[in-house]
């Protein structure tokens, strides 16, 4: 990925956050334009009579269905063409009994037990994604907390601590405590005299002692001060065994050289800070709710668009009717909102001007792989007391996420056994067969949770570059590409305009898809009224 990409800038923010804390990370995010809440401020109003104008929407993902729903409410005649036999696009949950065929022909049947699922695409909603949250409220999609940060989950390095996973709580506390001690002692020795007033230095030392778990000598070491943050070697109890035993902090050198601090970035970033949410029963509940809110027969499923043409009077989409053996059909409307992924659209003959065509061709898509694993019992809760949250590792699986629902109920459970994002790990997993992806995820995960070897039952793997309806995970803009092509991508070209997360500054998030659709239909409505 290009060094100037937005995802690379995320890494910069993460490094600042891990080293200097969330306040410093937020300051950097503000300067880079990330730390701004969604501009969504409530339902849009499309006032004025469209006088029976029709709109063809291509794609029943969240962008397409948002556009269709708002246009329908404004009085337009709307039809959606959708490749899949379901609504939602990347808003998708795989459940027991579902089948999925990827490019190359490999077909998987999900064998999860009832009530268990994998979200192959989006799986969490930040509190500041106001658009998604508002549509969930208006459409009756029940939400529950998504646990991004669990202090009792693990960070793991194959090179540190003999490959033994370490609790996030102890790594974060020991890192913060050691750096607080260094800064406090440097301040006491006058190293900050040129930058900080004497009064502020005393307040700073007080803050470091309080927040870093330092003792009266400004030392971070085993004792009651550090144990209040990192926990105990033996927890306080009752009776004769009640006396707590303080834990011995890790050496700063060991934390630094193990690179475990890298895992701390994943809850410092603005996009991942609490509170986060998930729909009860799977992310796919949102797509299902949008589909129910549209009039019957608005969405034509199994429609593979093969050509898009326009003239002065309207737009015509040619498509294959997959439910009828690929019969070629056409749909016509006065206007078109195209919410197809750019990876797909770039391969379809589309009658737009050279600027929009260049923009469509300019944006590659990020690679991502997710693997869901079902186990006979929720050993992460029963054995290791991990209730929700995410463990991070330098193994190729990168993450293990624990279900944020059904706590302490016993029975079976599904872990997100791998989540890769771009880079060699994603490409390597994508090249494997689905069965091999699952096998590798179990083998790697057993280095963190040995229970994998006896408790694993079944799994399913989705590699997004092999997903037929997207050919990739999300638009992967660079700053240079945005400067040259973004405005052209979002412009109205004759009677066609685009929508989707790729037409936003929030790539890879559902909020970006919704906001792009609202912007598109607002501008389209003005054009229709003016015409």
**Which pLDDT score is estimated for 36?**
56
| pLDDT, mean of residues 219-229 | 95
| pLDDT, mean of residues 34-43 | 75
The span from the CA of 119 to the CA of 111, in Å, is 15
Statement: residue 24 has pLDDT above 90: no
Share of the chain above pLDDT 70, in %: 93
Number of H helices and number of E strands within the chain?
Answer: 18, 24
The percent of the chain in helix, strand and coil, each rounded to the nearest 5, is 40, 20, 40
Q: Mapping DSSP to helix (H, G, I), strand (E, B) and coil, where does residue 226 land?
A: helix
Q: Among the residues of 121-260, which ranges form H helices?
A: 130-139, 168-188, 198-212, 224-230, 252-258
Statement: residue 471 has pLDDT above 50: yes
Helix axes 130-139, 510-530, angle to 10 degrees: 80
Radius of gyration of the chain (CA): 26
**Which pLDDT score is estimated for 41?**
86
Local confidence band at 319 (pLDDT 50, 70, 90 cut-offs): very high
Longest CA span, the chain: 87
Statement: residue 20 has pLDDT above 70: no
- Which of 69-83, 190-204, 368-382 has the lowest average pLDDT? 190-204
Tokens standing for residue 299: 């969405």
Nearest to 464 by CA among 456, 475, 450: 475
Residue extents of the structural domains in the chain: 37-88+286-363+477-530, 94-152+274-282+366-466, 168-258
Q: Determine how many CB atoms are found less than 10 A away from the CB of residue 437.
A: 26
CATH class of segment(s) 37-88+286-363+477-530: alpha beta
**Which pLDDT score is estimated for 267?**
85
Please indicate whether the domains covering 37-88+286-363+477-530 and 94-152+274-282+366-466 agree at the CATH topology level. no
Statement: residue 256 has pLDDT above 60: yes
User: From the centroid of its chain, how far is CA 404?
Assistant: 15
**Which pLDDT score is estimated for 37?**
73
- Which of 109-113, 188-192, 432-436 has the lowest average pLDDT? 188-192
Tokens standing for residue 291: 């589909």
Statement: residue 140 has pLDDT above 50: yes
- Here the contacts of 517-520 (C-beta below 8 Å, separation 24 or greater) are 517/62, 517/63, 517/64, 517/66, 517/67, 517/70, 517/337, 517/339, 518/40, 518/44, 518/66, 518/70, 518/131, 519/490, 520/67, 520/337, 520/490
Mean pLDDT score across all residues of the chain: 93
Statement: residue 35 has pLDDT above 60: no
The span from the CA of 493 to the CA of 356, in Å, is 7
Statement: residue 66 has pLDDT above 90: yes
Model's pTM, two decimal places? 0.91
C-alpha dist (Å) from residue 431 to 369, 435, 437, 471: 11, 12, 9, 14
Nearest to 474 by CA among 350, 337, 339, 368: 368
CATH architecture entry for 94-152+274-282+366-466: Alpha-Beta Complex (3.90)
**Which pLDDT score is estimated for 22?**
35
Q: What angle do CA 456, 460, 464 make, to 5 degrees?
A: 145
Question: Per this entry, what is the length of the chain?
Answer: 531
Multiple choice CATH, 168-258, 1.20.1440.240, 3.40.50.720, 3.40.50.970, 3.30.1950.10: 1.20.1440.240
Local confidence band at 462 (pLDDT 50, 70, 90 cut-offs): very high
């Amino acid at each position: 990925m290009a060094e100037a990409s937005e995802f690379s800038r995320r890494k910069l923010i993460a490094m600042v956050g891990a080293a200097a804390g969330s306040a410093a990370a937020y300051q950097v995010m503000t300067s880079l334009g990330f730390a701004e809440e969604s501009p969504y401020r409530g339902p849009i109003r499309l006032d004025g009579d469209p006088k029976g104008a029709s709109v063809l929407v291509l794609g029943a993902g969240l962008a397409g269905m948002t556009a269709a729903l708002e246009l329908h409410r404004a009085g337009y005649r709307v039809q959606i063409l959708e490749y899949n036999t379901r609504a939602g696009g990347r808003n998708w949950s795989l459940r027991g009994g579902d089948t999925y065929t990827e490019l190359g022909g490999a077909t998987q049947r999900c064998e999860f037990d009832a009530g268990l699922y994998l979200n192959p695409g989006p799986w969490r909603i930040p509190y500041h994604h106001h658009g998604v949250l508002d549509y969930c409220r208006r459409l009756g999609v029940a939400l529950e907390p998504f646990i991004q940060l669990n202090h009792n989950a693990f960070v793991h390095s194959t090179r540190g601590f003999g490959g033994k996973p370490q609790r996030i709580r102890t790594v974060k506390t020991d890192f913060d405590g050691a750096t607080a001690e260094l800064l406090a002692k440097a301040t006491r020795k006058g190293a900050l005299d040129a930058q900080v007033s004497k009064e502020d230095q005393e307040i700073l030392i007080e803050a470091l002692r309080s927040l870093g778990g330092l003792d009266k000598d400004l030392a971070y070491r085993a004792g009651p001060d550090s144990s209040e943050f990192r926990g105990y070697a033996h927890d306080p109890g009752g009776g004769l065994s009640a006396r707590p035993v303080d834990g011995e902090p890790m050496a700063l050198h060991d934390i630094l050289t193990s690179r475990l601090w890298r895992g701390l970035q994943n809850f410092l970033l603005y996009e991942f800070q609490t509170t986060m949410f998930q729909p009860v029963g799977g992310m796919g509940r949102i797509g299902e709710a949008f589909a129910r809110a549209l009039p019957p027969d608005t969405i034509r499923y199994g429609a593979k668009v093969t050509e898009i043409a326009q003239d002065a009077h309207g737009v015509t989409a040619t498509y294959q009717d997959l439910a009828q053996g690929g019969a070629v059909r056409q749909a016509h409307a006065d206007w078109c909102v195209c919410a197809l992924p750019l990876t797909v659209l770039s391969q379809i003959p589309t009658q737009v001007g050279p600027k929009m065509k260049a923009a469509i061709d300019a944006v590659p898509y990020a690679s991502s792989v997710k693997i869901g694993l079902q186990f006979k019992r929720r050993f992460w809760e029963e054995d290791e007391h991990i209730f929700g949250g995410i463990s991070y590792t330098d193994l190729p699986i990168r993450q293990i996420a624990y279900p944020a629902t059904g706590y302490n109920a016993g029975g079976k459970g599904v872990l997100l056994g791998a989540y890769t994002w771009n880079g060699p790990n994603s490409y390597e997993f994508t090249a494997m067969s689905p069965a091999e992806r699952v096998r590798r995820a179990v083998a790697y995960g057993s280095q963190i949770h040995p229970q994998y070897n006896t408790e694993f039952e079944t799994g399913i793997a989705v590699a997004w570059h092999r997903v037929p309806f997207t050919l990739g995970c999300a638009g992967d803009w660079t700053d240079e590409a945005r400067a040259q092509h973004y405005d052209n991508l979002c412009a109205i070209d004759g009677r066609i305009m685009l929508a989707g997360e790729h037409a936003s500054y929030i790539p890879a998030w559902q909020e970006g898809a919704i906001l792009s659709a609202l912007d598109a239909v607002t501008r389209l409505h003005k054009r229709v009224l003016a015409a």
